[in-house]
């Protein structure tokens, strides 16, 4: 249904200290309104509730804001209500800092959709950003991304119709070709297939050889009278087939720039064992089909870990059969629901979660493509949805807004002083251990507000009994209990770098992700933790790619153009004696700004491929010019 209202917005920097939003609500309907209110969601939050003009503040919950017009105001068809909102917690820097969604509630309590458009910049044109990639240049005419460790190839003039397993190939080799063919067809359904299972005119045979001396992911391809694929295992064989498919697809589609090899050799193996992609499905829900396609894209880019961020303040997305409230109350956001609309939600309630059968499907699909799925339940912070769904996990004597998270949620952390928290987590981990074969369970551990729990009598009892001081020592005590739960289930703890705060947990077997800044990774390695580098300043794919107002995304970590992501080196200043602690690198897809598929593709690509090449290829083999030519060939969601 076409909305009967539109909310337009402009950000004006002239009002101290952080500017203001000027709003215009246009009545496109046929009825005159009075005694109504409008709600909108925006990441640029109001902290001074009185700082509004021609409007009355009604309510705010994190990114949810509600305002009403002055008493007696009437909005006739075709007319506009103009109002301003200041008192912002930070300046707006890009169009996506403005409203993401809105709805109107009339005097009868009915909710109406309100259309929103880009927030404009007052006093200046809203300039478009420049192109993200230059044209690029190839020094060798082969489409390989990530670029292999060694390439010594001679280009050919002929392009095979397709490649097929040599007659008499082992069953597992035929199955591997079939799997690579199916992957290609899912990613490029219109393109001519690169593989067949049986010969046909114009096809060439692949001979497979297994060499136990090679690493599990290593492979080599020799081109001559025959194409010979040598690999150390099934993962290496898959990587070889992907490389062949990439070259054949490009050579067929663009013969001016690309060739298929006539002779020579590729010798290849990954730089890092952990080549990850994190996906936040709490802020925005991704259907199973989208998650599966992302796994396919990862396999095409030779990424091997899907870090699945399943819970956060906005929603708990993982079915836990012992606690059905988590995926009913804990996922449903709407005007009349316990969870207010956030980050693009409007008049209609929205939900979405993954059943345990969905999870098994994703895990099995990923495993078939040599992608490990590492689940994350974010604790103790980021649990606003959990605590609304399970109010027995709160301390009723704690003041309602005794602390706020950096995202503006009040009292959003699981309370270590509530004894019911621990059987809850035991049960959750029992069900997760059955669903996810990964040795790791990521428990978050990030962004607990300094001052959390200090107004909770039950938390203070624990602190006095255990001799703890402050929020982070209590968090450390809590996470040590969680670590013991995981160990009892044969799992190892993974988390964000704040897990090390307040004394940390036992570093043995613990994997922490350095996200706040690159230097944190060195500190974690010195403390004995295994480390994955994922700094927001380079590897967070929700960050803006240009300073232009029209460029979408977040900006707290700065501007992160593809060239910066590609050029960043995770090893950086890491001392040689600590490099064995660096297990790999990871892209992070945080979904606050990903309201649709176009936003996703604009922000994620080509930067995901830049990280994939840094994760796989030796530093000396990277080439920005080559990458700019090859990255546009990759599939998108």
Q: Are 511 and 530 in contact (CB under 8 A)?
A: yes
- Tokens of residue 161, six digits: 């119709």
- The SS3 of residue 112 is strand
- Tokens of residue 319, six digits: 């079915």
Using CA of residue 398, residue 403, residue 409, residue 414, what is the dihedral sign? negative
Give the residue ranges of DSSP H helices in 104-193.
171-187
DSSP run (H or E) holding 429? helix 421-435
Q: Where are the beta strands (DSSP E) in 185-260?
A: 204-210, 219-223, 227-231
- The SS3 of residue 320 is coil
CA dihedral 178, 184, 189, 193 (to 10 degrees): -70
Instruction: Give the number of residues written for the chain.
Output: 637
Going by C-alpha positions, the residue among 95, 23, 132, 60 that lies closest to residue 401 is 60
Distance between CA 35 and CA 25 in Å, rounded?
14
- Tokens of residue 418, six digits: 């509530």
CA distances, 332 to each of 56, 107, 110, 285 (Å): 27, 24, 18, 11
Distance between CA 421 and CA 202 in Å, rounded?
64
Distance between CA 218 and CA 232 in Å, rounded?
6
Going by C-alpha positions, the residue among 305, 387, 327, 339 that lies closest to residue 64 is 339
- Tokens of residue 8, six digits: 């337009």
Half-sphere exposure of 489 (CA within 13 A, CB side): 25
Exposure string of 368-384, with b = 16+ CB inside 10 Å and e = fewer, is ebbbbbbbbbbbbbbbb
Q: Are 597 and 619 in contact (CB under 8 A)?
A: no
| Active-site position among 447, 473, 547, 571 | 447
The CA-CA-CA angle for residues 458, 462, 465, to 5°, reads 135
- The SS3 of residue 37 is strand
Distance between CA 344 and CA 103 in Å, rounded?
10
Q: Are 417 and 456 in contact (CB under 8 A)?
A: yes
Q: Are 538 and 565 in contact (CB under 8 A)?
A: yes
Going by C-alpha positions, the residue among 395, 386, 399 that lies closest to residue 444 is 386
- Tokens of residue 36, six digits: 């109504």
Distance between CA 603 and CA 113 in Å, rounded?
27
The CA-CA-CA angle for residues 308, 545, 45, to 5°, reads 70
Distance between CA 374 and CA 27 in Å, rounded?
48
Q: Which residues pair with 589 in a beta bridge?
A: 279
**Measured in Å, how far apart are the chain's first and last C-alpha atoms?**
27
Active site residue 547: no
DSSP run (H or E) holding 264? strand 261-268
Which positions are annotated as active-site residues? 447
């Amino acid at each position: 249904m076409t909305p009967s209202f539109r909310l337009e917005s402009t950000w004006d920097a002239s009002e101290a200290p952080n500017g203001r939003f000027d709003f215009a609500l246009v009545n496109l309907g046929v009825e005159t309104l009075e005694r109504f209110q409008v709600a909108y969601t925006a990441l640029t939050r109001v902290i001074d509730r009185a700082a509004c003009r021609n409007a009355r503040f009604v309510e705010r919950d994190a990114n949810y804001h509600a305002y009403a017009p002055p008493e007696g105001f009437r909005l006739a068809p075709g007319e506009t209500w103009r109002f301003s909102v200041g008192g912002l917690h930070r300046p707006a820097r890009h169009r996506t800092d403005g409203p993401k969604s809105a709805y109107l509630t009339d005097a009868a309590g009915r909710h109406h959709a309100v259309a929103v458009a880009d927030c404009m910049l007052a006093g200046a044109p809203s300039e478009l950003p420049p192109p993200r990639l230059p044209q690029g240049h190839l020094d060798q005419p082969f489409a390989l991304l990530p670029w292999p460790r060694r390439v010594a190839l001679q280009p050919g003039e002929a392009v095979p119709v397709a490649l097929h397993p040599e007659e008499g190939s082992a069953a597992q080799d035929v199955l591997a070709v079939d799997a690579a063919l199916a992957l290609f067809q899912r990613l490029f359904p219109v393109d001519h297939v690169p593989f067949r299972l049986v010969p046909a005119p114009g096809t060439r045979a692949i001979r497979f050889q297994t060499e136990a001396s090679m690493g599990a992911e290593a492979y080599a391809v020799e081109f001559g009278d025959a194409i010979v694929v040598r690999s150390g295992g099934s993962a290496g064989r898959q990587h070889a087939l992907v490389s062949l498919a990439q070259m054949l697809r490009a050579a067929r589609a663009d013969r001016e720039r690309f060739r298929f090899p006539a002779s020579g050799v590729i010798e290849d193996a990954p730089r890092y064992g952990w080549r990850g992609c994190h996906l936040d499905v709490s802020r925005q829900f991704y259907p199973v089909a989208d998650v599966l396609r992302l796994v396919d894209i990862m396999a095409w880019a030779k990424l091997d870990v899907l870090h699945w961020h399943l819970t956060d303040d906005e929603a708990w997305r993982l079915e836990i059969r012992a606690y059905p409230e988590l995926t009913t109350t804990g996922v449903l956001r709407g005007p009349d629901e316990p969870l207010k609309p956030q980050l693009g939600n409007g008049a209609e309630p929205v939900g979405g979660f993954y059943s345990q059968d969905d999870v098994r499907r994703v895990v099995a699909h990923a495993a078939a493509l040599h992608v490990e799925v590492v689940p994350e339940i974010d604790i103790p912070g980021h649990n606003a949805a959990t605590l609304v769904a399970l109010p027995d996990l709160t301390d009723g004597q704690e003041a309602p807004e005794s602390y706020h998270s950096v995202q503006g949620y009040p009292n959003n952390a699981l309370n270590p002083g509530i004894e019911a928290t621990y059987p809850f987590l035991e049960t959750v981990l029992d069900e997760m251990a059955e669903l996810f074969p990964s040795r790791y369970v990521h428990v978050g551990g990030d962004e607990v507000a300094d001052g959390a729990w200090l107004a909770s009598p039950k938390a203070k009892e624990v602190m006095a009994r255990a001799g703890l001081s402050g929020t982070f020592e209590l968090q450390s005590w809590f996470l040590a209990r969680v670590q013991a739960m995981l160990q009892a289930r044969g799992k190892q703890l993974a988390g964000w770098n704040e897990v090390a705060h307040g004394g940390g947990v036992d570093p043995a077997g613990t994997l922490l992700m350095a996200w706040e800044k690159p230097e944190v990774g060195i500190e974690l390695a010195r403390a004995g933790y295994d480390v994955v580098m994922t700094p927001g300043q380079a590897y967070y794919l929700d960050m803006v790619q240009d300073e232009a107002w029209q460029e979408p995304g977040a900006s707290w970590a700065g501007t992160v153009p593809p060239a910066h992501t590609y050029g960043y080196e995770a090893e950086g200043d890491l001392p040689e004696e600590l490099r064995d602690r660096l297990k790999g690198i990871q892209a992070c897809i945080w979904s606050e700004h990903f309201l649709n598929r176009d936003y996703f593709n604009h922000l994620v690509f080509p930067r995901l491929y830049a990280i994939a090449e840094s994760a796989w290829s030796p530093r000396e083999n990277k080439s920005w010019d080559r990458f700019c030519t090859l990255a546009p060939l990759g599939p998108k969601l």
